[in-house]
A and B are shown apart, each in its own frame.
Chain A
Amino acid sequence: MSEHSRRKVSDRLGIGMTGLATALILAILLVILGTMVAGGHRVISWEFLSQPPREGMTRGGIFPAIFGMVFSVLIMLIAVLPIGVATAVYLHEYAKPGHWLTKLVRGAVNNLAGVPSIVFGLFGLGFFIQFIGRGLDASLGKEMLFGQPCILWAALTLALLNLPMVIVATEEALRAVPRDERAGALALGATRWQTIRHVVLPQALPGILTGTVLVIARGAGEVAPIMFTGAAYFLPSLPKAPTDQFMTLGYHIFVMTTQSPDIEATVPIAMGATLVLLCLTIALNLVAVVIRSRTRNALRKGR
């Protein structure tokens, strides 16, 4: 076989394999979506989205789970965004790259990213609830206000889980800002912080937003970290404060498929709920794409 035809064959093989892998992924996605649509589309209605579950979750809707999910994700964002972005800015803009402390923080972030989510759940239970929560209760003279599972601790646990993702996405975005522009700003007598605030961060924003959306999707879907830290099996009323327990979609699906007294009646509802979660995730991603291309265009035009 000549060198030329050998290269041709390997080229074909490469295209074939990567094409096959792509097709497989698409097929899997379609099968998942198809199953959920087939099994769950009949239950989806305005009532389904706006009503609480009834009769041991064999009827009714999923509104409290949606509400709780949004509530917890919002608190998670409030916690994880400032800390994550600030850490990334420090690491990338201020810290000396070779310094041992920088390396230590980087290593810690990478290791944090590899920890299984159930471990975060246990950590949340031990640290947030039993240590901080109980401590707060004791010092405030309260009985079981902070020292029990609730939205706050669940959201903080989710924040911790997602912290590496925010840091990595932000650093990526910062790296994409040209050095020349930083130098330009500093040479005009801008301070380091002014340079970051007015030149670097605006350009990094699309990248940070993308990271944020991924984090939202993950925060909305994760079950393990919130199982012991705040999510409830069933609640008769909506949570009113961050110190209340909450229902959330992912955990609700888990509960419905494993603990229902009447599986037959629950399966379509669980499928419907899963369909809602999937659609939400996909919609979130689309929103991200739109925001990103908008900000990018705006930046190019220079607002």
Chain B
Amino acid sequence: MAGSTADRIDITGFNLYYHATRALEDITLAIPEREVTAIIGPSGCGKSTLLRAINRMNDLIDGVRTDGGLRLDGEDIYQRGIDVVELRRKVGMVFQRPNPFPKSIYENVAFGVRMGGNGLLKTRLDEVVERSLKEAAIWDEVRDRLQRSAMELSGGQQQRVCIARALAVEPEVILMDEPASALDPLATAKIEELIFRLKEKYTIVIVTHNMQQAARVSDRTAFLMLGRLIEYDKTSKIFTSPSNKLTEEYITGRFG
């Protein structure tokens, strides 16, 4: 199924090493446009590593080496001369722990746009901030306190501000690494609802430990174990009739 025109991210025979240890082994995976793809698997199997490979955040880690293909819209993002800053503007990321800057809510959301340097007028920037906060379903809760610190918000609110912050840059792809794991069920439901709406516009890749969550929000699911891709298919298929025994054991909770 690799290479079809609707595939936004195309991973082929991809390996990643931390120094000498191979954390990802021969991953081949095509992620379609405007769908939610979930990555599941036991702790330490390489989910975060795979996610960070897509916006090259692994570059920050000492001793990381990769080979194989990882294409975004047909372009190999690991080839020489790729502008990583540009790549990350196209591929946004939301982290496991909410990590707003100790700045105002407004400045948090405006940050990426400001750094992009296309000197927007204040009124235009106001619009971008408002639109992003609305898209992230947090506008109503913060509209009266945009100049207050984002640190004063609850964890769930902070996480949605972080999502808004990522949306403000107008990415094509959004990577989410267990975005709801630090949140309570209500806040989690809000994030899931949000993900569901966001896929109209964005391609979303989400790492989760929560099987129900994967089943609820995703269109496709990739199951990883020990750095290998065990199975990748439609979520409905994975959760009803997985073709691999390991997948079945994992989703029915027999290990991991």
Contacts and interface: CB of A to CB of B under 8 A. Distances in A.
B190 interface: no
B85 A189 contact: yes
Interface in B132-183: 148-152, 162, 165-166, 169
A184 B103 contact: no
Interface residues of B, number: 34
Contact of B88 (A97, A180, A187, A199): A187
Interface of A: 96-98, 178, 180-181, 183-191, 194, 198-199, 203, 299-303
A207 B106 CA distance: 26
B149 A188 contact: no
Contacts of B151: 300-302
Contacts of A184: 95, 99-101, 162, 165
7 contacts: A185-B101, A186-B57, A190-B115, A301-B151, A302-B150, A302-B152, A303-B104
B184 interface: no
B107 A188 contact: no
A207 to B, nearest CB: 14
Given A180-B95, A184-B95, A184-B100, 7 more contacts: A97-B62, A185-B101, A188-B88, A189-B115, A300-B149, A301-B148, A303-B107
A183 B94 CA distance: 10
B60 interface: yes
Contacts of A199: 101
B111 interface: yes
A189 B89 contact: yes
A186 B59 CA distance: 11
A183 B85 CA distance: 12
B contact face: mostly helix, strand, loop, or mixed: helix
Contact of A96 (B62, B97, B114): B62
Contact of A189 (B88, B95, B102, B152): B88
Interface centre among B60, B97, B101, B112 (most CB of A within 10 A): B101
Interface of B: 55, 57, 60, 62, 85-86, 88-89, 92-93, 95, 97, 99-105, 107, 111-112, 114-116, 148-152, 162, 165-166, 169
Contacts of A191: 85, 115
Dominant secondary structure of chain A at its interface with chain B: helix
Contacts of B115: 185, 188-191, 194, 198
A12 to B, nearest CB: 42
B256 to A, nearest CB: 26
B97 A181 contact: no
Nearest to A180: B99
A187 B92 contact: yes
B149 A189 contact: no
A158 to B, nearest CB: 34
A302 B103 contact: yes
A302 B150 CA distance: 7
A203 B102 contact: yes
A106 B169 CA distance: 38
B126 to A, nearest CB: 18
Contacts of B148: 301-302
The interface centre, meaning the residue of A190, A191, A194, A300 with most chain B CB atoms within 10 A of its CB, is: A190
Contacts of B101: 181, 184-185, 199, 302
A176 B55 CA distance: 26
B103 A188 contact: no
A221 B27 CA distance: 64
Given A188-B88, A188-B115, A194-B115, A303 B103 contact: yes
A157 to B, nearest CB: 38
Given A189-B85, A189-B89, A183 B57 contact: yes
A190 B166 CA distance: 12
